[in-house]
Structure 1
Amino acid sequence: MSDLCHHVNRYSRREFLAKTGLGMGGLALASLINPFSAIAQNDPSKGVLGAPHFHPKVKRVIYLFQSGGPSQLELFDYKPELIKRNGEQLPDSVRQGQRLTGMTAGQKSIPMVGSIYDFKQYGQSGAWVSELLPHISGISDEICLIKSMYTEAINHDPAITFFQTGSQLPGRPSIGSWISYGLGSDNENLPAFCVLLSQGKRGAQPVYARLWGNGFLPSVHQGVQFRSGKDAVLYLNDPPGVSGQDRKAYLDHLKQLYDIQYESDKDAEINSKIAQYEMAYRMQTSVPETMDISGEPDYILDMYGPDVRIPGTYAANCLLARRLAEKNVKFIQLYHKGWDQHGNLPNDIQLMSKSMDQPTAALVRDLKQRGMLEDTLVIWGGEFGRTSYSQGRLTKENYGRDHHPNCFTMWMAGAGIKKGMTYGETDELGYNVAKDPVHVHDFQATLLHLLGVDHERLTFKHQGRRYRLTDVHGQIVKPILI
């Protein structure tokens, strides 16, 4: 108690009045510059914008990230000319001197390889979809395929980091953190940004926690990873011998100390820490309830497939994503690892497609039948595509594909997006974008736009510079929007 009194009495009355006057003036100035900034500083769970820049079409986002780089040529980008010219050398006129990864740069032979899987057109949209995706083909009239995505990153870590943070270099805030920072949370009992991980096959490329990190934004905006097993969120439960009442008393006293420290230092991160502790306390009830799927009817579980009953699988995470969306979690990020097929592609892509196809289609159908697809955006895609030539030796039964940033396929479904649309084209050999290119920053700008955010106006000043998710780039892809 004496320490607290000493802390309070460290200023004279004259100093206290002077500092208070300056503080009030600063708050007044801040309110003129940004009327919501003072609110956001004192309660970091509230968005710094206070309200979207314009009316949003999307209330929440579920991003199904397929880590490793799925082959668009086996799944969505049907190339009969490539199949016809199977085994021929890739023409120099197509490659145009573009760089290759170190894994194929030394290959003397670069034989083109067409997909061995059949494609058909589905739905009223007539979208081409591979036989590997019988369930997704059934929702072809709900999705918008973007076949002309491209990126500069050619290796996994910088490519995933680019998609998730807007920079190939680590350290920037992730998409979900920017959205949490700008728009805040719609559920005081759950984080605005939740993350789920699954692995499709062994030996998959790793994903790192910094991909859902807050970077230089207040720490309350970092993604919270939900895990399978007893403790869905690490360190959430009370330690042995500590009751819930004890925990509450501890947090109340801790908040008093933090409040004193904030009055002294005016460090916004202190309020972030308080908000995190309070959120963790509320999550002790909300998280177990969300993770418990025992009340889901059998017909729903059957819709997602047999793996849904196995915690930690992609199917189980898709169902959890729907449950989190029902509770108005703003940004739900799934990472499904295992799409890096440099060799043995015909076998491995079957395994990955089987693990992903039914749960993904079920998620879209489930949201639609609940009336949630009208204000939920579902995104599917990886960090880059795969080459139209074979990495290593090409045989009739086996081949592989290297990383390919020049062109690949993503799709979106739900709020604000045109249904049954195919946007963009690649050349006849599937090597370059031929029409309507969409860059990573364009995708990010469009995502923020759907949430009612102007990507050029959501910024954060750090080390003397104002940063944003799209850096100094990004154009909204208006033709795909309703």
Structure 2
Amino acid sequence: MFDLNPMREHELMMTRRQLFGQASLGLGTAAMASLLGPDLQAAPANPDFNGGIHHKAKAKRVIYLFMSGGPSHHDTWDYKPKMKDMLGKELPAEIRDGQRVTGMTAGQKSFPVCPSKYEFKRYANNEDGVHVSSLLPHTAKAVKEMCIINSTFTEAINHDPAITYIQTGSQVPGRPSLGAWLSYGLGSDNKDLPGYVVMHAKSKHAEQSLFGRLWGSGFMPSDHQGVLLRNQKDAVLYLNNPKGVSRANRRNQLDALAAINQQHYDSFGDPEVLARIRQHEMAYRMQMAVPELMDISKEPKSSYELYGEDARIPGTFAASCLNARRLAERGVRNIQIFHRGWDAHRNLPKEHEDQCRDIDQACYGLITDLKQRGMLDDTLVVWGGEFGRTAYCQGPLTKENYGRDHHPRCFTTWMAGGGIKPGITYGRTDDYGYNITDKDGNTLTPQPSKDAKWTPGTMHVHDRNATILHLLGIDHEKLTYKYQGRDFRLTDVHGHVIKDILT
């Protein structure tokens, strides 16, 4: 047996299906390249904003604050005073109506009603007002800019499928994330920074793990995945050159590597090779852009007064929000901050007090900062987790301490800026914050909307993503990516734009 060149060996070991598949891909790509010309072959799907790709956009960018673990809507936004009279009493059977519960409370013999221990105050000048818990005194000052959505719902009842669902539009891993879809559709306004940036904020109760697929590109080219900014010495792994390697050396290495990759692409037509070339070039440009971005030493004292002193500490939620504003100023269209630790099955008050202390002033600071700089009108700020918490207690119950299980039937999220009606609430829940109701108090049993079938006053995960895309100038039914013979969408075959909350 004679030795083969590795490339030749690869060709001989190809199956018939692989051969024809790669050949057709290479011919098709070559034909497209000849039509587009060299300047557009490696460009993002839409490098120029142009007011939106399907209709005029109201937002140029989105800052998504994701509270991983499921914040309790009972203790933050959804005011239910009648529950105080039901402390410790059994949740009425007709309210739960046989709905499934997690394995963590399935063995409970009773489901005692658990009112919030926190006081609520009404804010905003309109006929309904917005009730906010004493846990969020700073955020409360910004409610005049926010739309509080009490009727968000999902089918997923456990963390991993629920987070995967709200981030990718599917409970099954493997789909592109919301940020990847936006990168694919809109590209970036800054050639030196990626179109999608992710940050993980520190938390005292970070029990739940987060997986790269939540900001991944799925079956799209990998240059659409989120770039993770770390709070350690190197903000991006492997961004800095090794010792002894100058920037000029690095440039020469990348030029040689690009030539090899281009040759590989010419031979096999794999679009992922082009993505790899773009990623290498982006990393080279980021070597100059990221250090300047992460250097907040020149921020004025007023920034720390606004976001809180925690903003001086790398990796805190406050520092992440300050960096989010800096990223937005520099043309990054999609910025996401993950804050873990909201999974409070026991000892909820203590844990939520810590969590809210982390985020409260920073959320207010971000909205106020954007407003002061004239950026809030075209920046969509989104806040929320993967589901809510139950009206009944999990484990021992006292007035001062209690726990709550997962609750997907209804939970609170909010949006601000970027075409959202300010100072309003959307959607209603029953006296126990357990089910979504209509304006007359009748319980609704909404399903994921499809075509014209949508339950007014509700917001499913798909409706939420459809609305976000709409505000950024994208029709969620038209933004598709062909994979394995099918045109995929972020919202699958569902989704309804919630026009009631739009300006």
Normalising by the residue count of structure 2, what TM-score does the alignment of the two structures yield? 0.88
Q: Distance in 2 between the 1:381 and 1:464 partners?
A: 34
Structure 1 residue 85 corresponds to structure 2 residue 90? no
In structure 2, do the counterparts of structure 1 residues 24 and 136 end up closer, same or farther at CA, with 3 Å as the change threshold? Answer: closer
What is the Cα deviation at residue 442 of structure 1?
0.2
Q: Are 2:148 and 1:127 aligned? A: no
> Within 2, Cα distance between the matches of 1:364 and 1:66?
17
Q: Which residue of 2 aligns with 1:322?
A: 325
Residue 25 of structure 1: CA displacement? 8.8
1:378-457 alignment to 2 at 5 Å?
378-435=381-438, 436-457=457-478
Q: Distance in 2 between matches of 1:366 and 1:211?
A: 28
| CA displacement at 1:260 relative to structure 2 | 2.0
Deviations 1:344-388 (A, max 9, x none): 111111111111100010000000000000110000100000000
Return the letter of the residue paired with 2:59: V
CA 1:127–1:49: 2 relative to 1, 3 Å: closer
1:43 corresponds to = 43
Shift of 1:239: 1.0
Question: How many Å separate the matches in 1 of 2:328 and 2:99?
Answer: 42
Q: How many residues align structurally?
A: 462
Q: Deviation per CA, 1:11-37, whole angstroms, max 9, x where unpaired?
A: xxxxxxxx9x96699439x97xxxx89
| Alpha-carbon distance in structure 2 between the residues aligned to 1:463 and 1:363 | 41
Please say which of residues 257-266 and 437-446 is displaced more in the overlay: 257-266
Partners of 1:303 and 1:262 in 2: how far apart?
Answer: 50
Contact map agreement 1:43 1:271 (CA 8 A) in 2: no
**Identical columns (%):** 57
Alpha-carbon distance change, 284 to 38 in structure 1, aligned in 2, over 3 angstroms: closer
Match of 1:209?
212
Normalised by the length of structure 1, the TM-score is 0.92
Residues 256-271 of structure 1 aligned to structure 2 (within 5 Å): 256-271=259-274
User: Partner of 1:53 in structure 2?
Assistant: 54
For 1:183 and 1:37, the matched residues in 2 are separated by 20
- The amino acid of 2:477's aligned partner reads E
State the match for 1:11 in structure 2: none
Question: Which AA in structure 1 matches 2:281?
Answer: E
- Counterpart Cα distance in 2 of 1:140 and 1:481: 16
Partner SS for 1:135: helix
* 2:199 partner SS: strand
Q: For residues 394 and 139 of structure 2, what CA distance do their matches in structure 1 show?
A: 28
Q: How far apart in 2 are the matches of 1:119 and 1:41?
A: 56
Contact 2:112–2:392 (CA under 8 A) maintained in structure 1: yes
- CA 393–41 in structure 1, closer or farther in 2 if over 3 Å, else same: farther
Residues 375 and 415, structure 1, Cα contact 8 Å, conserved in 2: yes
Q: Distance in 1 between matches of 2:482 and 2:30?
A: 21
Structure 1 unaligned spans of 5+: 7-18
Secondary structure in 2 matching 1:470 = coil
Please tell me whether residue 27 in structure 1 is matched to residue 32 in structure 2: yes
Does residue 281 of structure 1 match 2:284? yes
For 2:150 and 2:427, how far apart are their aligned partners in 1? 5
Match of 2:110 in 1: 109
Q: CA, structure 1 residues 174+338, in 2 after alignment: closer, same or farther (shift >3 Å)?
A: same
Amino acid at match of 2:385: G
| Deviation (angstroms), 1:98 | 0.4
CA deviation after TM superposition for structure 1 residue 49, in Å = 10
Match of 2:65 in 1: 64
Q: 2:175 maps to which residue?
A: 172
CA distance in 2: counterparts of 1:37 and 1:124, whole angstroms: 56
SS at match of 1:271: helix
CA contact (8 A) 2:44 2:186 kept: no
Distance 1:470 1:197 in 2: 25
Could you list the per-position Cα deviations for residues 308-344 of structure 1 after superposition, in whole angstroms to 9, with x for gaps in the alignment?
A: 1110010110100000000010100000011111111
Pairwise CA RMSD: 2.3
Deviations 1:27-76 (A, max 9, x none): 39x97xxxx89976532475599961111111010000011100000000
Please list every run of 5 or more consecutive structure 2 residues that lacks an aligned counterpart in the other structure: 9-23, 439-456
Distance 1:185 1:315 in 2: 24
**d(CA) in 2 for partners of 1:441 and 1:378?**
18
SS in 2 for 1:329: coil
Q: Is the 8 A contact 2:48 2:189 kept in 1?
A: no
Residue type of the partner of 1:27? M
1:409-437 Cα shifts (integer Å, max 9, x gaps): 00000011001110000011110011311
CA distance in 1, matches of 2:284, 2:498: 41
- 2:493 counterpart of 1:472: yes
Structure 2 residue corresponding to 1:154, chosen from 149, 157, 164? 157
1:187 and 2:208 matched: no
> How many angstroms does 1:264 deviate by?
2.2
Q: Secondary structure at the match of 2:141?
A: helix
* Aligned match of 1:292: 295
Letter of the 1:109 partner, please give it.
Answer: S
Distance in 2 between the 1:303 and 1:41 partners? Answer: 44
Contact 1:42 1:268 in 2 (8 A): no
Q: CA 1:201/1:183 → structure 2, altered by over 3 Å: closer, same or farther?
A: same
Query: Per the alignment, do residues 22 and 380 of structure 1 end up closer, same or farther by CA in structure 2, a change over 3 Å counting?
Result: closer
Aligned to 2:372: 369
Q: Secondary structure at the match of 2:275?
A: helix
Deviations 1:278-335 (A, max 9, x none): 0000000100000010000011112111211110010110100000000010100000
CA distance in 1, matches of 2:101, 2:411: 16
1:257, CA displacement in angstroms?
Answer: 1.7
In the alignment, the residues of structure 2 paired with residue 62 and residue 269 of structure 1 have an alpha-carbon distance, to the nearest angstrom, of 28
Taking the aligned partners of 2:475 and 2:498, their CA distance within structure 1 comes to: 13
Q: Which stretch of the first structure deviates more once superposed, 39-48 or 232-241?
A: 39-48
Deviations 1:250-285 (A, max 9, x none): 111111222222222222111111100000000001
Per mean C-alpha deviation after superposition, the further-off stretch among 297-306 and 447-456 is: 297-306
Cα-to-partner distance string for 1:86-144 (whole Å, 9 max, x where unaligned): 11101110011100000001000110011110001012142100111111110111000
